[in-house]
Structure 1
Amino acid sequence: MILSHDVAGTGPTVLLLHSTVCDRRMWDPQVPVLAEAGYRVVRCDLRGFGQTPMPDGPYGNAQDVIDLLDLLGAERVALVGSSGGGRIALEIAARWPERVASLTLLCTAVAGHEPGPELQAFGEREDALIEAGDVAGATDLNVATWLGPEASAATREQVSLMQRHAFEVQLAAVEEFPSLKPEFDLADVTAPTLLVSGAHDLPDFRQIATALADRLADARHLELPWAGHLPGLERPDAVNPLLVDFLRETYPAG
């Protein structure tokens, strides 16, 4: 199955991978800016998000993305990943390093991370609300947890719509199939990497960014003092120039 996706602009390919709180619509503020900067911008919905249905068998998110890139004839790309999308981007950059020219990770997750007390408490509260059938409450919890103080009311409503839709799609699935977890080594990541964290995010994600900055071969870490977990939605006016500048440095549009 090919992930639901859209393409804007022409030039070197930039692939945007959404957070698991959202879907590909989270990149609405970035797509026109990156296209104007001279890039072909691809964004997709992962399985169970946006317009992509739940899997009908065991699957791998990273392989899904590679299949999409193959379909589009994108041999080499810049990856931009938010949270869970960042975790997938890291897997791709480790397993297929020759295909990744640049890596930008916004408040990224990482495979194998043991959650700290705040993140664990969030997960337990979300599970309890879902088990009680309170999808609205679980949605509100996600909006309150993952957006920082700079997010507007319109942004909060947008995230609420995306998260509520994801819950509805995933809870409607007749059967749940496992996500395959192939082994990979982050030491194999060669792409220059920009790690962005937010001072108002849960502590886990700053810790992840700090650890990755030390672990990856060519990485830098920038913390945004105003940001929560979704800075590209909270203040696109501040994040878009960071993305464009790093892409121009590491993957020029010609």
Structure 2
Amino acid sequence: MSALDRRLDRPGAVIAFADGGGDGHPVLLLHGAGMDHTMFDAQAEALTAAGLRVLRADLRGHGESSLDEGARFSADAALGDIAALLAERRIDRAVIVGHSLGGNLAQAYAAAQPDRVSGVIVMDASWNAGPLSSVERLALRLAAPMLALVPSRRLPGMMARASAVWASAIARTEETFARMPKPVFLDVWRATVSLVAPEPAYRSPVPLGLIRGAEDRTGNIAVAMPRWADVEGVAEYVIPDAGHVVTWDAPDETSAALLGILAEDRFVAAMR
């Protein structure tokens, strides 16, 4: 039986989600591009055991969430889905934990709706407002066109090998990526890039936590996240022997880092 037992009708999509319920503070888990809610299996279990109310969802066009024929994935639509999901569950404020694209969406949602967010924890995602060098700007512009040149049959394996370190995590990542049609994945990639918009004076309006795999070599994350931590004055949790899909490369260590951030005074205060 699927862990996602609820459905939310949205313009152009149906969102599959689960609400663990309980009296704990809500924590919404948002997966990365091409992935699905299963990447957070270990973390959902750990958060639930800690007494938190865990919500999981598949982003539109991912996993068990559909995308209507003719509809295309966009960042605005995904942000609308987040707002609608929290409203449907009557949640006034939640901590949002986002991996990769999920982390970019979490940043954008907190920037737009800070009163609805009690904290953001970003895993292996680009810094939306961070500065970009000319080389990084060029890489962002060329990413989607370059991926479009990769044959569909090769793309899942290529992305998996770039995203995970351990053989088991690579295999799971490739299997998950392979479920998404290439045109949808390219739209998802473009949406991710659209959320990166340098804004030097911007600082997070809510408590911020940062986690990345030590072996993450995707994009500029390994370079940008330490700078981001320094600018925001927060600790960066670096998980050894893990790549971009840190939750599968090092599930227990990632769960411990996540719980450690949520136990920090600034998060505890914000969740009261």
TM-score range, shorter chain: 0.7 to 0.9
Give the direction of change, closer, same or farther, for the CA distance of 1:71–1:206 in structure 2 (3 Å limit): same
Cα offset, 1:136, TM superposition: 2.6
Q: Which residue of 2 aligns with 1:99?
A: 116
Q: Distance in 2 between matches of 1:196 and 1:247?
A: 12
Is the Cα–Cα contact under 8 Å of residues 34 and 244 in structure 1 kept in the other structure? yes
Q: Structure 2: where are the runs of 5+ without partners?
A: 1-9
Q: Which residue of 2 aligns with 1:3?
A: 15
Cα offset, 1:157, TM superposition: 2.5
Does residue 165 of structure 1 match 2:179?
Answer: yes
Q: Distance in 2 between matches of 1:241 and 1:178?
A: 30
Give the direction of change, closer, same or farther, for the CA distance of 1:158–1:169 in structure 2 (3 Å limit): farther
> Cα RMSD over matched residues?
3.3
Q: Which residue of 2 aligns with 1:205?
A: 221
Does residue 49 of structure 1 match 2:62?
Answer: yes
Q: Deviations over 1:7-39 (max 9, x none)?
A: 225211000010103111111111111111101
Cα offset, 1:121, TM superposition: 7.9
Q: Distance in 2 between matches of 1:89 and 1:184?
A: 16
Is the Cα–Cα contact under 8 Å of residues 196 and 222 in structure 1 kept in the other structure? yes
Give the structure-2-normalised TM-score: 0.76
Written as runs of structure 1 = structure 2, the 5 A alignment for 1:97-246 is 97-111=114-128, 116=136, 126-129=147-150, 134-148=151-165, 151-153=166-168, 155-167=169-181, 170=184, 187=202, 189-202=204-217, 204-216=220-232, 219-246=234-261
Q: Which residue of 2 aligns with 1:37?
A: 50
Does residue 19 of structure 1 match 2:32?
Answer: yes
Q: Distance in 1 between matches of 2:55 and 2:244?
A: 22
Q: Which residue of 2 aligns with 1:61?
A: 78
Q: Distance in 2 between matches of 1:126 and 1:194?
A: 30
Cα offset, 1:210, TM superposition: 2.5
Which has the larger displacement, 26-35 or 105-114? 105-114
Secondary structure of the residue that 2:98 maps to in structure 1? Answer: strand
Q: Distance in 2 between matches of 1:95 and 1:108?
A: 18
Q: Distance in 1 between matches of 2:261 and 2:191?
A: 35
Secondary structure of the residue that 2:121 maps to in structure 1? Answer: strand
Secondary structure of the residue that 1:30 maps to in structure 2? Answer: helix
Is the Cα–Cα contact under 8 Å of residues 163 and 170 in structure 2 kept in the other structure? no
Q: Distance in 2 between matches of 1:84 and 1:97?
A: 19
Give the direction of change, closer, same or farther, for the CA distance of 1:251–1:152 in structure 2 (3 Å limit): farther
Give the direction of change, closer, same or farther, for the CA distance of 1:92–1:215 in structure 2 (3 Å limit): farther
Q: Distance in 2 between matches of 1:53 and 1:169?
A: 15
Secondary structure of the residue that 1:81 maps to in structure 2? Answer: strand
Cα offset, 1:200, TM superposition: 1.3
Q: What is the aligned length?
A: 242
Q: Deviations over 1:130-174 (max 9, x none)?
A: xxxx323101001100002xx242x32221221111236837x9x
Is the Cα–Cα contact under 8 Å of residues 82 and 108 in structure 1 kept in the other structure? yes
Is the Cα–Cα contact under 8 Å of residues 210 and 221 in structure 1 kept in the other structure? yes
Cα offset, 1:189, TM superposition: 2.5
Secondary structure of the residue that 1:226 maps to in structure 2? Answer: coil
Q: Distance in 2 between matches of 1:120 and 1:157?
A: 29
Q: Structure 1: where are the runs of 5+ without partners?
A: none
Q: Distance in 2 between matches of 1:221 and 1:178?
A: 26
Q: Distance in 2 between matches of 1:184 and 1:97?
A: 19
Match for 2:42: what amino acid?
P
Secondary structure of the residue that 1:15 maps to in structure 2? Answer: strand
